Amino acid sequence: MTIKDEAVKVRQGEELNIEAIAKFLKYNVAGLSDICSVSDSSHGLDSFQSSNNLNLTIEQYPGGFSNLTYLLKVKHCPIENGGQVGEKQMVLRRPPIGAKIKSAHDMVREFKILSAIYPVFHYCPKPLAYSEDESIMGCSFYVMEKIQGIILRKELPQGLTFSKEQAHKLCEKLVDLHLDLHAIDVKAAGLDFIGKPEGYVARQVQGWSDRYRKAKTPDAPDFEAVMAWLDDKKQPDTDRPALIHNDYKFDNVLLNPEKPMEIVGVLDWEMATYGDPLMDLGSSLGYWIEKNDPPECQMIRSMPTDIDGAMTRREIIERYGEKSGRNMDNFDFYYCFGLFRLAVIAQQIYKRFHLGFTKDKRFGLLIHAIRVLEKMALKVIDDCKI
């Protein structure tokens, strides 16, 4: 039994052209110029032959609802003079099938962001190569090194437990690493190309509102009261903009398999930008379901944020404010935005299922989460004092 996030057989309809991927790796990833044969564990393909002693296997990570993520294993064949067989593991990311929202699935932008962040934030995966050649798989994609680690999904994996004290400490480490990310000198790192902090909050409120209206299906809640409140209560620009991840949460970080209390990687940088870090924290807390939240909220929980000892949202807000020196008085706005933004993402994904672009049954269930998120956002509005 393993507690690592495991790749599995590629889902039907989301297969890759293994011959094209092998050729791409051969000519674009250092040290892989000697690819010789490839095999796809999901389809039994073994059709690409070239001159050397490596082979390629492709599997898929089953988690996540957005970009598709694949595990590439390039295995060296035995070499002369008793050399050992080796294996290089990489991760390939591409947009989901049927996605039409280019800005949400811009692989080239994500690759360039990783390239700039990697030298200053060692938790970021090392980017290896990207391609805009749609003849390979019909879209842009990129390849990065794989970081070995544990990803926390809805429930703790078998074999992994945390005491109350450990759970609380791990949450503190998650918050503190978020603070470290927000403390990066964006301009010194050459990262200010990724966004424009002026007018960021207003653009986010308007942009996500527009996206929701475009993605709305007949069975979805309208969110008009939430969108009107966010527009009326939107906060002014921060005077301390920062590099923000925009999807920072437990299932986007990796824990050391040997020391699970240690965070060793941060994944999914597709929405990273330069803006207000409180918007980033609000987006993170949109996912944070506490142990004492109502049953309908527990139904949409996607990470083990309910375990004994886990920090509450209020504790996270207080720790962030204390360590950052930022004013957290009006954080209800940012939290409500985080709930709404999560609903928009879910609705965009659900619409692909509604239109028949994907058969993944998980996507069909998102409509229930979207309804719950509207109720949660409306409760924040009713309770807040902004």
Between CA 163 and CA 179 the distance in angstroms is 24
Q: Taking 80 as the threshold, does the pLDDT of residue 78 lie above it?
A: no
Structure tokens at 233: 């209560």
Q: Are 278 and 325 in contact (CB under 8 A)?
A: no
pLDDT of residue 152: 95
Would you identify the CATH topology of the domain 164-383? Answer: Aminoglycoside 3'-phosphotransferase; Chain: A, domain 2 (3.90.1200)
pLDDT of residue 63: 66
The CATH number given to 18-145 is 3.30.200.20
Q: Taking 60 as the threshold, does the pLDDT of residue 105 lie above it?
A: no
Q: Are 127 and 115 in contact (CB under 8 A)?
A: yes
Q: Per residue in 193-213, pLDDT tens?
A: 899 999 999 999 999 999 999
Structure tokens at 165: 């004290």
Q: Taking 80 as the threshold, does the pLDDT of residue 80 lie above it?
A: no
Bridge partners of 271? none
Q: Per residue in 143-197, pLDDT tens?
A: 999 999 999 999 999 899 999 999 999 999 999 999 999 999 999 988 888 999 9
Between CA 58 and CA 71 the distance in angstroms is 6
**DSSP states of 292-345 as a string?**
TS-HHHHTT--SSTTSTTPPPHHHHHHHHHHHH----TTHHHHHHHHHHHHHHH
Which of 265, 270, 308, 317 minimizes the C-alpha distance to 290? Answer: 308
The per-residue b/e assignment along 86-95, b for 16 or more CB within 10 angstroms, e otherwise, is eebebbbbbb
Listed range (64-73, 156-165, 209-218, 309-318) with the worst mean pLDDT: 64-73
Q: Taking 70 as the threshold, does the pLDDT of residue 65 lie above it?
A: no
Q: Taking 70 as the threshold, does the pLDDT of residue 39 lie above it?
A: no
pLDDT of residue 45: 38
Q: Which long-range contacts (CB under 8 A, 24 or more apart) does 114-120 make?
A: 114/142, 114/144, 114/269, 116/189, 116/190, 116/191, 116/193, 116/194, 117/184, 117/189, 117/191, 117/243, 117/269, 117/272, 119/189, 120/184, 120/189
Share the mean pLDDT of the chain.
88
Q: How confident is the model at residue 43 (pLDDT cuts 50, 70, 90)?
A: very low
Q: Which amino acid is at 104?
A: A
Between CA 46 and CA 38 the distance in angstroms is 6
Q: How confident is the model at residue 1 (pLDDT cuts 50, 70, 90)?
A: very low
> Residue 251: in which H helix or E strand, if any?
none
Residue intervals of the chain classified under CATH 3.30.200.20 are: 18-145
Between CA 58 and CA 77 the distance in angstroms is 17
SS3 243: strand
Which of 66, 59, 118 minimizes the C-alpha distance to 89? Answer: 59
Taking every pair of Cα atoms in the chain, the longest distance, rounded to a whole number of angstroms, is 74
SS3 141: strand
Pairing mode of beta strands 68-76, 253-255: unpaired
SS3 266: strand
Mean pLDDT, residues 324-330 taken together: 97
pTM for the full predicted model: 0.85
Which of 102, 174, 166 minimizes the C-alpha distance to 139? Answer: 102
Between CA 76 and CA 242 the distance in angstroms is 43
Residue intervals of the chain classified under CATH 3.90.1200.10 are: 164-383
Q: Quick one: angle between helices 277-285 and 331-354, nearest 10?
A: 60
Q: The sheet that has 37-38: what strands, in order across it?
A: 37-38, 54-60, 68-76, 87-94, 141-145, 127-131
pLDDT of residue 54: 47
**Beta strand segments in the chain, E:** 37-38, 54-60, 68-76, 87-94, 127-131, 141-145, 242-244, 253-255, 263-266, 273-275
